[in-house]
Structure 1
Amino acid sequence: MIVKSKRIYMEDGLKDGFLVIEDGKIQQFLTLSDDKEVIDYGNMRIIPGIFDTHNHGTCGYSLSGEGSQEEIKGYLKGCASQGITNVFPTAERSMIAAVAKAAKENDWGATILGIHSEGPWLNRTGEKGVRTGWPEVSLDAAKQMVSDGQGLLKLVAIAPEIPGIDPLIQYFLKEGIVLAMAHSDTNYKEATRAYDNGFSVSTHTGNVMTGLHHRDVGGLGAALLNDHVDCEVICDGMHISLEMLKIYFKVKSTERFMMISDCTPFSGAPEGSYKGFSEDMTIQVSKDGFVLSDTGRLMGSSQPVLYGIGNLVEKLKMPMETVWPMFSLNPCRKYGFDKNKGSLNVGKDADFVVISDEYRTIATYSMGKKGYDAKEGSVFNPEFLKKWGKGGGAK
Structure 2
Amino acid sequence: MIIKSKRIYMEDGLKDGFLVIEEGKIKEFMRSTDAEDVIDYGNMRIIPGIFDTHNHGTCGYGLMDKGTRETIAGYLKGCASQGITGVFPTAGLSMISAVADAAAENLEGAQILGIHSEGPWLNRTGEKGIKTGWPEVSIDTAKQMVSDGKGLLRLVALAPEIPGIDSVIEYFLSEGITLALAHSDANYEEAKRAYKKGFSVSTHTGNVMTGMHHRDVGGLGAALLDNEVSSEVICDGMHICPEMLQIYFRIKKPEHFMMISDCTPFSGAPEGSYLGFEQGMTINVSKDGFVLTDTGRLMGSSQPVLYGISVLTEKLGMPMETVWPMFSLNPCRKYGFDKEKGSIRAGKDADFTVITNDYRAAATFVMGRKVYDMEEGPVFNPDFLKEWGREEIPHE
Fold-level match, TM-score > 0.5? yes
Say yes or no: does 1:258 pair with 2:258.
Answer: yes
Give the drift of 1:295. 1.2
CA RMSD of aligned residues (A): 1.4
Is the contact between residue 67 and residue 95 of structure 1 (CA under 8 Å) also seen in structure 2?
yes
Distance in 2 of aligned mates of 1:266 and 1:151: 29
For residues 392 and 239 of structure 2, the distance between their equivalents in structure 1, rounded to whole angstroms, comes to 30
Tell me the equivalent position of 1:268.
268
Q: Does the 8 Å CA contact 2:139/2:167 hold for their aligned counterparts?
A: yes
2-side partners of 1:273 and 1:245: how far apart? 30
Shifted more, 132-141 versus 88-97: the winner is: 132-141
2:147 corresponds to 1:139: no
**1:61 pairs with 2:65:** no
DSSP-derived class of the 1:199 partner: coil
Identity across the alignment (%): 76
| Deviation at residue 125 of structure 1 after TM alignment | 2.4
Is residue 384 of structure 1 aligned with residue 384 of structure 2? yes
Aligned 8 A contact 2:86 2:112 in 1: yes
Corresponding position of 1:174: 174
Displacement of 1:127 after TM fit? 5.5
Which amino acid in structure 2 is aligned with residue 5 of structure 1? S
Contact 1:274 1:394 (8 Å CA) reproduced: no
Q: 1:131 to 1:394 in 2, by over 3 A?
A: farther
Matches of 1:172 and 1:294, distance apart in 2:
38
CA distance in 1, matches of 2:226, 2:175: 24
The TM-score normalised by the length of structure 2 is 0.98
Counting only pairs closer than 5 Å after superposition, residues 160-309 of structure 1 correspond to structure 2 as 160-309=160-309
| 1:312-342 C-alpha deviation (Å, 9 max, x unpaired) | 0111111100000000000000000000000
The C-alpha deviation readout for 1:87-119, integer Å capped at 9, x for no partner, is 000000000000000000022100000000000
- For residues 110-141 of structure 1, give each alpha carbon's deviation from its aligned partner in whole angstroms, at most 9, with x where no partner exists: 00000000000000123547671232100000
Equivalent in the alignment of 1:124: 124
Given that residues 16 and 31 in structure 1 are in contact (C-alpha distance below 8 angstroms), is that contact kept between their aligned partners in structure 2?
Answer: yes
Partner amino acid for 2:309? Answer: I
Partner of 1:49: 49
SS at structure 2 position matched to 1:391? coil
C-alpha deviation, 1:67, in angstroms: 2.1
- Partners of 1:334 and 1:387 in 2: CA distance: 37
For structure 2, the 5+ residue unaligned runs are none
Matched AA of 2:163: P
Q: For residues 250 and 131 of structure 2, what CA distance do their matches in structure 1 show?
A: 35
Q: AA paired with 1:348?
A: K
Show the counterpart of 1:339. Answer: 339
Aligned to 2:354: 354
Gap regions ≥5 residues in structure 1: none
Does residue 89 (structure 1) correspond to residue 107 (structure 2)? The answer is no
- TM-score, reference length from structure 1: 0.98
Give distance in 2, aligned partners of 1:64 and 1:214. Answer: 38
The answer to whether the 8 A contact 1:272-1:394 is kept is no
Aligned equivalents of 2:113, 2:390: Cα separation in 1: 36
Aligned length: 395
In structure 1, C-alpha distance between the alignment counterparts of 2:258 and 2:133, rounded to whole Å: 31
